[in-house]
Amino acid sequence: MFARVLKKGQVVIPKELRKKTGISPGDKVEITASEDGLVIIPMRINYTENTRGIVRGRLSLDELEDISTHEQ
């Protein structure tokens, strides 16, 4: 699959690949150089890590399941 590099160095990831990898607008990706070229890795946000210390008290099982669902 091919993509074009725009003036500001932007590359549009083809829709088929975004769909296949679950990349959505606003998602962060890590771009690294390898011997074969560039590697683009979607950065998965760990919701639990990012919210540690924000929630006080205990959560119900339903609330924990809801949080878990949003992580996926």
Return the pLDDT at 67.
Answer: 74
Return the pLDDT at 62.
Answer: 81
**Quick one: tokens of 30?**
């890590």
Return the pLDDT at 17.
Answer: 93
Report, as ranges of residue numbers, the positions in the chain whose pLDDT lies below 50: none
Q: Which amino acid is at 33?
A: A
Cα within 13 Å of Cα(38), Cβ side: 10
Return the pLDDT at 48.
Answer: 55
